[in-house]
């Protein structure tokens, strides 16, 4: 039998969240050379020794499959082959003079664009060996040199060996009616609410729709105290992404009075050096609330021992 919760659960607006994954990208020799030379205002491509095809940006392997390529400096002027407008930028496929493929890059500035239009490179004043040292392409001025053939090339600097980059995933986290009511009660009245399973009588915190002890639907909201018992702890010494504070600190599993499940939170007010010997499961703890509550488990700043050691 399905039992609806006995009060109306609140559905908070979604939380904005971002997962950020910083990493270093190794571009390889060809792309590394292309990017490094942009800082010297040179566009570097490759010429295949077998088919003579000139490709830009520089490639490690020709599109014919041959891997004996030589670097060449190609013209910084070319012809617009096609373009697409986006809300924040316009991208174009540009056939640089003497090349056998198109370069995808930005069209720079607020201009009227037309297929077949002559373009010239537009450079950053503060190069950093990255793709946007070449800001993009703009309509060719009177002085633009046309038809320059790819020329022999001597590197002016080391290829870029790696570059800092970051993958960011923006998403909205929907609290849903169960977490929604928990967080809303925490925010508005500093009250912690679990939900009781009508079958096995477990009180689940955080509240949820299905009991994970007996798999029945839960139904009755239940108050849970902000005091409880230390069940286990870890002393965190390592830094990792997503940490809310710098190590070292104590991470504790706490069973709040009235709940049948544990939550994990910080335990403060304990000397880190002494903690391994002196902290024991079974010790009583209490929540320390933040002065300003926003509706999350972070509204509890941390836990501390009721009887200090
Ligand atoms: Zn080739
Ligand atoms: Zn149950």
* 37 found inside a domain: yes
pLDDT in tens, 225-275: 999 999 999 999 999 877 889 999 999 999 999 999 999 999 999 999 999
Residues 31 and 101 in one domain: yes
How would you classify the pairing of strands 77-85 and 118-123? antiparallel
The reply to whether 265 and 182 lie within a common domain is: no
| Domain termination residue (choose one: 161, 192, 212) | 161
Q: From ligand 1's centre to the CA of 29, what distance in Å? A: 18
Ligand nearest to the CA of 101: 1
Domain membership of residue 247 (yes or no) is: yes
- Tell whether 55 and 135 lie within a shared domain: yes
18 lies in the same domain as 43: no
Q: What's the 130 CA to ligand 2 centre distance in angstroms?
A: 57
Q: Tell which of 161, 192, 210 closes a domain.
A: 161
Mean pLDDT of the chain: 91
pLDDT over 90 percentage in the chain? 73
66 shares its domain with 183? no
User: Which residue range forms the structural domain that includes residue 216?
Assistant: 1-24+177-224
- For residue 148, the CA-to-ligand 1 centroid distance in Å is 21
In the predicted structure, residue 7 carries a pLDDT above the cut 80: no
Same domain, 13 and 137: no
- Mean pLDDT of the 40-57 span: 96
Closest listed ligand to the CA of 69: 1
Q: Is residue 5 part of a domain?
A: yes
Mean pLDDT of 26-36: 94
DSSP state for residue 50 in the 8-state scheme: T
Output 244 or 224, whichever has higher pLDDT: 224
User: For 124, left (φ over 0), alpha (ψ -120 to 50), or beta?
Assistant: beta
pTM for the full predicted model: 0.58
Compute the average pLDDT of residues 82-96.
96
pLDDT in the model for residue 24: 93
- Helix, strand, coil distribution of the chain in percent, nearest 5: 10, 40, 50
* Distance, CA of 23 to chain centre: 10
Residues 6+ apart with CB under 8 A from 73: 37, 42, 43, 44, 45, 150, 151, 152, 153
59 with 75, same domain: the answer is: yes
pLDDT in tens, 149-174: 888 888 888 999 998 889 999 999 88
pLDDT of residue 283: 97
**Total domains in the fold of the chain:** 3
Of 79-83, 102-106, 143-147, which range is least confident? 143-147
Neighbours of 243 (CB within 10 A): 11
Residue 117 shares a structural domain with residue 135: yes
List C-alpha distances in Å: 309 to 118, 277, 291, 305.
Answer: 78, 11, 26, 8
User: Is 307 a member of any domain?
Assistant: yes
State yes or no: pLDDT of 6 exceeds 70: no
Clarify whether residues 284 and 193 are in a common domain: no
Q: Is the pLDDT of residue 1 over 80?
A: no
Cα 150 to middle of ligand 1, angstroms: 15
Give the Å distance between the CA of 217 and the centre of ligand 2: 7
Residues 298 and 203 reside in one and the same domain = no
Task: With respect to residue 141, please indicate whether it lies within any of the assigned structural domains.
Answer: yes
Q: How far is the CA of 113 from the centre of ligand 2 (A)?
A: 66
| Residues 71 and 143 placed together within one structural domain of the fold | yes
Strand order in the sheet with 192-197: 203-204, 192-197, 218-224
Q: Look at residue 13 in the predicted model and tell me its pLDDT.
A: 72
CA 137 to ligand 1 center in whole angstroms: 27
User: Which of 114, 135, 161 is where one domain is finished?
Assistant: 161
Of 1-5, 145-149, 216-220, 265-269, the least confident: 1-5
pLDDT of residue 2: 45
DSSP 241-269: TT-SSPSSEEEEEEEETT-SSEEEEEEES
Could you tell me the two tokens for 225?
């105290």
């Amino acid at each position: 039998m399905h039992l609806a919760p006995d009060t109306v659960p609140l559905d908070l607006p979604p939380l904005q969240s971002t997962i950020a994954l910083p990493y270093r990208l190794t571009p390889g020799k060809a792309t590394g050379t292309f990017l490094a030379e942009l800082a010297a205002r040179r566009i570097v491509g490759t010429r295949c020794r077998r088919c003579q095809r000139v490709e830009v940006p520089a490639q490690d392997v020709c599109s014919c499959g041959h891997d004996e390529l030589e670097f060449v400096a190609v013209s910084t002027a070319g012809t617009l082959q096609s373009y697409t407008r986006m809300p924040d930028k316009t991208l174009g496929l540009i056939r640089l003079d003497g090349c056998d493929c198109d370069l995808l890059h930005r069209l720079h500035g607020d201009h009227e664009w037309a297929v077949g239009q002559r373009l010239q490179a537009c450079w950053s004043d503060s190069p950093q060996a990255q793709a946007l040292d070449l800001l993009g392409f703009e309509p060719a001025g009177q002085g633009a040199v046309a038809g320059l053939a790819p020329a022999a090339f001597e590197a002016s600097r080391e290829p870029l060996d790696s570059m800092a980059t970051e993958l960011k995933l923006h998403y909205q986290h929907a609290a849903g009616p169960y977490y929604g009511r928990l967080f809303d009660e925490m925010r508005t009245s500093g009250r912690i609410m679990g939900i009781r399973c009508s079958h096995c009588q477990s009180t689940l915190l955080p509240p949820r729709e299905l009991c994970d002890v007996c798999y029945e639907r839960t139904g009755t909201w239940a108050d849970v105290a902000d005091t409880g018992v230390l069940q286990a702890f870890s002393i965190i010494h390592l830094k990792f992404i997503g940490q809310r504070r710098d190590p070292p600190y104590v991470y504790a599993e706490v069973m709040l009075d009235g709940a049948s499940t544990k939550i994990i939170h910080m335990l403060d007010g304990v000397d880190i050096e002494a903690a391994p010997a002196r902290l024991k499961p079974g010790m009583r703890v209490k929540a320390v609330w933040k002065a300003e509550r926003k509706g999350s488990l972070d509204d509890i700043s941390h836990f501390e021992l009721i009887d200090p050691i």
